[in-house]
Amino acid sequence: MFGQSKEKWLRTFLELPNGIPSHDTFWRVFRFLDAEQFQSCFLRWMRAITTVTEGEVIALDGKQVRRSFDTQGGKAAITVVSAWATTNGLVLGQRQVDDKSNEITAIPELLESLLLKGSIVAMDALNCQTKTAQTIIDGEADYLLALKANHPLLYEDVVELFNTLAEDVQKEALYTFAHDHARTVDKGHGRLEIRQAWTIDDPDLIAGLRTAAQWPHLTTLIKVQAERFVGDHRSCETRYYISSVRASAADLLTSVRAYWGIENSLHWVLDMAFREDESRLHKDAGAINFATLRHIALNLLKQEHSLKVGIKNKRLRAGWDHDYLLTVLQPLLASI
């Protein structure tokens, strides 16, 4: 319908000897398009137009396309792991998780395909793996990994270390080990959020932790406490991280918050502006190819700054206004 209504304009830069392709033709093309080659093209395009800034947080996380399952064909919903540049607000690359695998296998493969030099790669506890950390170090980047009980020995020692620190601080002990602390307060929309970070980077203390030697360039331990007040309700969450970065508690708290932003800046936008979880494409490579298309579209819209509205309204404007659509497409057309 879009093509038919704009055929005259489209013919100014496209060859359409047989008119606008049908819905089924579009579907067949994306269903049988080689997904790995399409993702490789996407990756090469992003390398050509973006540069990772020094110290930029690259957040990696997986997202399931919920309705891409095929019950009749016995196919589960696909999961796509994405690398999100938090400063530039762009998807740098993606990889589909194999049906019989998980993110732990897919993420090192994605990392090896990216240019990460100078960045801080942040991931959740599922991907807190020594192999993944080594891949990041080999790429001349640093890691910031959430630590939970899936690494029980290290986790128990880190928690105990920070508990000892908290007790010493509370008692105003004359002696306690070196540490740094930062605190931020955000207030708005009826809620108050207080975030605090404590960091320990004493190499002797870290060396004494069980299994610490298995982690390449492990430099800093981080405790982050997020306290939220909404009316009379209070909630508090404490998380722990390990990192190869030596930085202040304030800087590391900023990096942790940047990682949390992948949910709102990428996953939420894909669901709300692109309705990704409502997509029922599931045959052959259709689901993963359209996931790549959505990432391309999101990157193009994120790079366009003349219109100060959200992604959903930018999409509407691009559908209405030929000049604005060409402005949005320019970074893609210029690389062809």
Average pLDDT, the chain: 91
* pLDDT for 175: 63
Structural domain count, the chain? 1
Q: Give me the domain span that covers residue 235.
A: 152-262
Q: Of the given ranges (36-45, 139-148, 234-243, 251-260), which has the lowest mean pLDDT? A: 36-45
Q: Look at residue 214 and tell me if it is in a domain.
A: yes
Position 139 confidence tier, pLDDT thresholds 50, 70, 90? very high
* pLDDT for 336: 60
- The percentage of the chain sitting over the pLDDT mark of 70, rounded to a whole number, equals 98
Contact of 323 with 33, CB cutoff 8 Å: no
Q: Look at residue 333 and tell me if it is in a domain.
A: no
Find tokens 């206004």 and name the residue. Answer: 321
Residue, of 209 and 281, whose pLDDT is higher: 209
Cβ neighbour number for residue 138 with a 10 Å cutoff: 12
* pLDDT for 102: 78
Average pLDDT (223-227) is: 96
Find tokens 């033709």 and name the residue. Answer: 25
In this structure, what token pair is assigned to residue 74?
A: 């016995």
pTM: 0.90
* pLDDT for 78: 86
* pLDDT for 294: 95
> Of 235, 238, 202, 210, whose CA–CA distance to 223 is shortest?
238
Average pLDDT (294-302) is: 94
Q: Look at residue 257 and tell me if it is in a domain.
A: yes
Average pLDDT (53-82) is: 87
Average pLDDT (8-25) is: 91
DSSP string, 9-75: HHTTTS--TT-SPPHHHHHHHHHHS-HHHHHHHHHHHHHHH--PPTT-EEEEEEEE-TT--BTTTTB
* pLDDT for 194: 94
